[in-house]
């Protein structure tokens, strides 16, 4: 197992709940969100923020579209915007009549469908749902009874879908029909029971390795397609939330983190909590797929 990875600061800031990093190769920038603050951020790694846009409500995730804009998983639905986060318009309401719920993680499959999950603001168990949002904006519930719908990813050949409902402390795998966008045969790939951390967001590298942020565990772990831990990235913060590959060569692992719930004493020990971190772990990954907007 490899765990000798040097970790640097990509963007020093104080996100309450930094999440959902996505590399934008066209803009040579990293997109990410501060969920509860409702802020969309973009940054050139190693420099100041390019922009911050306040969307006015909880913002679970950002993904790029094939038309050069952005698709946003916001509290009450799925929105589209231009590349700068302005001109936001509602594409598809999702649970808009349930203000106790919000969108959490969201990702696009290789065919351009958006998958987005909901959860309760107070993390009430079993009330979340994972939805598939198709190109023309139809919203299809796929998995119900979730507690904290989180990490999503697909194998390089798109025959497998990975999913995390954080309180289960599992990474689940499902067979995936890319033509129809249908996942089947959900089963555990790996149980995370040797650390106080719980699995949060994820990304998949070009070799099929699954990189998972361990909230409360101060680590990113790489799991092989058969569920073995192959790499560990130890972090100077306790609450990593998600990760993605980016940079011009796709070999930088960007890691979002959070300050949520930390005391002044804990923040004094982990002053980088809420920043975006980065390392070069010896693997690479392509930018996350874009949403195919009609």
Mind listing the pLDDT tens digit of every residue in the chain (294 residues)? Answer: 777 679 999 999 999 999 999 999 999 999 999 999 999 999 987 666 778 999 999 999 999 999 999 999 999 999 999 988 889 999 999 999 999 999 999 999 999 999 999 999 999 999 999 999 998 889 999 999 999 999 999 999 999 999 999 999 999 999 999 999 999 999 999 999 888 899 999 999 999 999 999 999 999 999 999 999 999 999 999 999 999 999 999 999 999 999 999 999 999 999 999 999 999 999 999 999 999 976
Which of 119, 18, 28, 108 is CA-nearest to residue 63? 108
Tell me the CA end-to-end span of the chain in Å, nearest whole number.
Answer: 44
**Residue 161, pLDDT score:** 98
Which residues are known to be catalytic? 200
56's CB contacts (< 8 A; 6+ apart) are 38
Give the pLDDT confidence score for residue 86 in this predicted structure. Answer: 84
> pLDDT digit string (tens) for 53-72?
999 999 999 999 999 999 99
In DSSP terms, which residues pair with 52 in a beta bridge? Answer: 41
pLDDT of 25: 95
β-strand 114-120 against 128-133: which pairing, if any? antiparallel
Closest CA to 8 of 206, 215, 246, 280: 280
**pLDDT tens per residue across span 170-195:** 999 999 999 999 999 999 999 998 88
Mean pLDDT of the chain: 95
Element (H, E) at 66: none
DSSP state of 287: P
Q: How crowded is residue 224: how many other Cβ atoms within 10 Å of its Cβ? A: 15
Which pLDDT does position 238 carry in this prediction? 97
Q: Which two tokens stand for residue 29?
A: 């920038």
Q: Which of 71, 68, 60 is nearest to 108 (CA)?
A: 71
- Which spans in the chain are helix H? 264-269
* The CATH number of domain 8-279, selected from 3.30.43.10, 2.120.10.30, 3.40.50.150, 3.40.50.2000: 2.120.10.30
- What is the pTM for the complete model shown? 0.96
Q: Rounded distance, CA 46 to CA 248, Å?
A: 14
271: DSSP letter: T
- Give the H or E element holding residue 102: strand 101-108
Report pLDDT for 199: 98
3-class SS of residue 114: strand
């Amino acid at each position: 197992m490899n765990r000798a990875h040097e970790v640097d600061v990509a963007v020093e800031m104080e996100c309450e709940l930094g999440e959902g990093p996505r590399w934008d190769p066209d803009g040579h920038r990293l997109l990410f969100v501060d969920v509860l603050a409702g802020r969309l951020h973009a940054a050139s790694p190693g420099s100041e923020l390019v922009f911050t846009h306040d969307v006015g409500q909880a913002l679970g995730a950002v993904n790029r579209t094939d038309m050069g804009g952005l698709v946003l998983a916001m509290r009450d639905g799925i929105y589209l915007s231009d590349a700068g986060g302005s001109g936001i318009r509602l594409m598809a309401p999702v649970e808009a009549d349930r203000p106790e719920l919000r969108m959490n993680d969201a990702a696009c499959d290789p065919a351009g469908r958006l998958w987005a999950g909901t959860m309760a603001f107070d993390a009430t168990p079993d009330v979340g749902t994972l939805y598939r949002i198709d190109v023309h904006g139809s919203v299809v519930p796929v998995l119900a009874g979730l507690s904290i719908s989180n990490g999503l990813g697909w194998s390089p050949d798109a025959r497998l879908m990975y999913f995390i409902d954080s309180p289960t402390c599992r990474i689940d795998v499902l067979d995936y029909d890319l033509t129809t966008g249908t996942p089947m045969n959900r089963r555990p790939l790996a149980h995370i029971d040797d650390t106080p951390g719980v699995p949060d967001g994820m990304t998949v590298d070009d070799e099929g390795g699954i990189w998972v942020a361990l909230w409360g565990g101060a680590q990113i772990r790489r799991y092989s397609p058969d569920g073995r831990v192959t790499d560990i990235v130890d972090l100077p913060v306790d609450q990593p939330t998600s990760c993605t590959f980016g940079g011009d060569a796709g070999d930088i692992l960007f890691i979002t983190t959070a300050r949520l719930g930390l005391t002044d004493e804990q923040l004094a020990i982990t002053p980088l909590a809420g920043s975006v971190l980065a390392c070069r772990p010896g693997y690479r990954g392509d930018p996350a797929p874009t949403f195919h907007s009609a």
